[in-house]
Amino acid sequence: MDSTSVKKTYSSISNSLHNRRVLDAIEGIRELITQSGREYYGDQLAQHSLTYENILRHSFGKIKDPQRTSIYLYLKRNLLELADELQEKILTDIAAENVYHQKKQFDRTRGTERTQALAYLESLAFNKELSSILEGVSLSEEQSSPAREEALIKIFNIIWLSDKYTEPEIELLDAVCDSEHFPWHDKSLIVSALTLSLLRYFDVNKFLLLFRFVQTREQYTWQRALVGLFLCFLKYNDRFYLYPVLEEKTLELSQESDIQKNLEAILIQFTKTRETESVSKKWKEEILPAMMKLRPKIEEKLDLENIFKDEFGEEKNPEWETVFEDAPDLLDKLQEFTEMQMEGMDVFMSAFSQLKNFPFFQRISNWFVPFYSDNQAIQPFLKSADSDVDLSPLVEKLEKTYFMCNSDKYSFCINLSLIPEQQKSMMLNMANAEMDNVSEIEKSEELINDFATTKSIYTQYLQDLYRFFKLHPWKKEFEDIFLLEPDLFNNAFIKNIITDSKTIRNIAEFYFDKQFYPYALNIFLSLLERDKKDIELFEKIAFCYEKTGDFQNALVYYKKAELINTERLWIIKKIAFCSKFMNRWDEALSYYRLAEKRNPDDMKIQANIGQCLIHLEQYEEALQYYFKVEVLAPENHKIRRPLAWCSFVTGKFDTAADYLKRLLAGSPDNRFDLLNLGHALWCMKEEENALEAYKKSVASFKNFKSFESSFLEDKKHLLKHGIDEFDIDLMIEFLKTGENL
């Protein structure tokens, strides 16, 4: 059994347990025991099997066991943890990944390193005199700093690579959490190691430790712990119900007054960091093309949808107010200065992605070290013996700013130290000037408050995590946490904390604003259950359905919104648009006529009426509407295409040919324009010119079959205008031979 098979078997066990197929899970675990070569696990499995047999036996007897449910959940928990342990044992034995290689090395030296590192950790947590080293008092001493750095790396690896924590480790980490002598940046590093460890291997004690770090409310540390809880509950949401202590701690946390807005900030920043492009890209590359295939072919031939196309469909309702304010605690001045950075859209990701190859980043722990000026790891880069440039003042400024994440700050400093002296001075001056500007803004008395600072910590930390999971050389070995879905109503942790309707609406508005329409839709539908008179909810639900390609439901909710306000022009146009896209052309036309009465000079409405009339084969009236658009927008060359078609169908062949020739002057290879020109010329008795146009059209199609299909769709119009059916068949045969006259 290879790594892939082990993971597949484990996944099957997990799914079986969550779906109450315990017998299947037991068989899967038995298979893992055999693969592991550790038959002593069989005794545990036998005991669990016996417990389950008793549950089954007593479930249908006369006497019901009141403890059955709790025993059953306890059994599932034990079986899951046994499967966890077996999978990890096997993968550590056979997997070739770097992480497992490092874990093997760690296991070999585990006893010695654990004793030394934890002893050092204990001394730092409890000994004020020794902990002063960490506060910079004795940083100049050559031996203390390297010893400290090496100890912290070992501590990070112990916390990260330990599957389950022993009681002494838990007690010590509790003590570190409470210690007043342990520096915030080292506590933050330990929290990151704890988070990575929990993401790697489930242990309920790791959750409890993260809760402890949150409860201390120590600045810069508790925020990272809350992010850790958020991420780990995303991954282990399916285990929440198995551990009552997790629900207990979550409910306890939910009682803290500011916890909702903090989790809201994390949820929003997490979504931003995942990048909106992935959603809009899916719309453009998957949903829209699939829907366009369902449109009548005349849409492609005449390109009717794109005559006034700024974007697909109507825009958002201009009457909607912005309910969600992205950064309500920041002044406009700061928003303008670092808008994209502070929004967390990761503008520096591409710039710094190439600067993660320095030796500094070869140690995993350094991807998570908060940026602070006294960090001995970067001291050699600040000023060298043969340089007059001292980067220390810049580093001190960088430490105090929030517009760049910690990882990028380290990259920036290391890179700056390596460039030529002359360029270094110039860049240092520019950077200092920029930092001064930032400092002036951030020092503004009204500008930065505690929550704005907290939000910035979330932004920086999530971007640090994003860089690690997207840029680290071992990234394929880690489960990408940024692919996890933050479902507001199905994630037990989020659902138990975020309960305020206003906060929930804020999150929905954020998703909506950033085009995460499936997420916004679920929340809006839930909110609608509480308020069925809010027309904006109906409109936004409909808009979300539309943007996910569900025009049927979009139409349902637009019509519900119409019942509340029959005079709203935007709703009328939306109903018309959805009807049109569902090929309900009569219905679309009636609504576009209503829209025309309210705004008779809107050229888009005129063009849409023309489009509906073409599909209803009311070509004379369609021609009048398109003529009107041409007069009002003579620079719009696309209008010539439906004008040419309507002219041809109504027998105005000269007019049709003139429009088509003008179109082909700008785009000589358009296959449909060439085909239609051939039709018009043939009806004008110009057979040779028609044949030439047809040949060019054939050459522009992907294959002759596609050309023939399009040609035959127009056969009824050629017959109507006097072209003999026998000649039509001969023309197709002749064009198929590819021969000249």
DSSP secondary structure, 656-680, as one string = HHHHHHHHHHH-TT-HHHHHHHHHH
Residues 6+ apart with CB under 8 A from 680: 644, 648, 653, 656, 657, 660
Q: What is the residue type of 202?
A: F
Separation CA 283–CA 514 (nearest Å)? 13
Residue 549 DSSP one-character state:
T
Rg of the chain over Cα atoms, rounded to whole angstroms, equals: 34
pLDDT of res. 333? 36
Report the distance separating Cα 735 and Cα 741, nearest Å: 10
Q: Dihedrals φ, ψ of 28, to 5°?
A: -65, -40
pLDDT of residue 134: 37
Question: In whole angstroms, what is the distance from residue 683 CA to residue 721 CA?
Answer: 7
- 169, 162 Cβ separation under 8 angstroms: yes
Angle formed by the axes of helices 259-274 and 244-254, to 10°? 110
Give residues with Cβ within 8 angstroms of 492, minimum separation 6. Answer: 233, 237, 240, 241, 247, 250
Say if residues 334 and 441 touch (Cβ distance below 8 Å).
Answer: yes
pLDDT recorded at residue 325? 45
* Residue 176 near residue 190 (C-beta atoms within 8 A): yes
CB–CB of 586/578 below 8 Å? no
State the burial class of residue 184 (Cβ atoms within 10 Å of its Cβ: 0-12, 13-18, 19+).
middle
**Dist CA 392 CA 726 (whole Å):** 89
Indicate the SS3 state at residue 426.
Answer: helix
C-alpha span between 411 and 348 (Å, rounded): 11
**In the prediction, which pLDDT does 139 show?**
31
So what's the pLDDT on residue 15?
96
Boundaries of every domain in the chain: 3-95
Identify the DSSP state of 534: -
Shortest CA distance to 545 belongs to which of 313, 710, 369? 313
Q: What is the pTM of this model?
A: 0.80
Place of tokens 């000249």: 740
DSSP 627: H
Of 579, 578, 608, nearest to 592 by C-alpha is 608
What is the total residue count of the chain?
741
- The number of CA neighbours under 13 Å toward the Cβ of 310 is 4
pLDDT, position 438: 61
User: How high is the mean pLDDT in each 10-residue block of the chain (741 residues)?
Assistant: 91 96 97 94 96 89 81 96 96 91 81 67 58 37 60 87 89 87 91 97 98 95 98 96 96 94 94 64 60 65 71 66 45 40 55 81 94 86 70 82 87 82 72 67 56 90 93 93 86 94 92 87 91 91 93 96 91 95 94 95 92 94 93 87 94 95 93 95 95 94 92 94 94 82 43
Cβ neighbours, 10 Å, residue 569: 16
Burial class (CB in 10 A: 0-12, 13-18, 19+), 464: buried
Q: Which two structure tokens, joined as six digits, stand for 630? A: 């041409």
Q: How many whole angstroms separate alpha carbon 670 and alpha carbon 668?
A: 6
Q: Helix or strand or coil: residue 346?
A: coil
Count Cβ atoms within 10 A of the Cβ of residue 713 and give its class: 0-12 exposed, 13-18 middle, 19 or more buried. Answer: middle
Backbone angles phi, psi at 318, to 5 degrees: -65, -15
Torsion, Cα 192 483 523 490, to 10 degrees, reads -70
Structural tokens at position 52: 């389950």
Under a CB-based contact definition with an 8 Å cutoff, are residues 80 and 19 in contact?
A: no
Cα–Cα nearest to 700, from 673, 678, 682:
673
How much is the pLDDT for 448?
54
CA distance 690 to 26: 75
For 147-161, the three-class secondary structure string (H helix, E strand, C coil) is HHHHHHHHHHHHHHH
Q: What are the tokens at 618?
A: 């009311």
End-to-end CA distance of the chain: 69
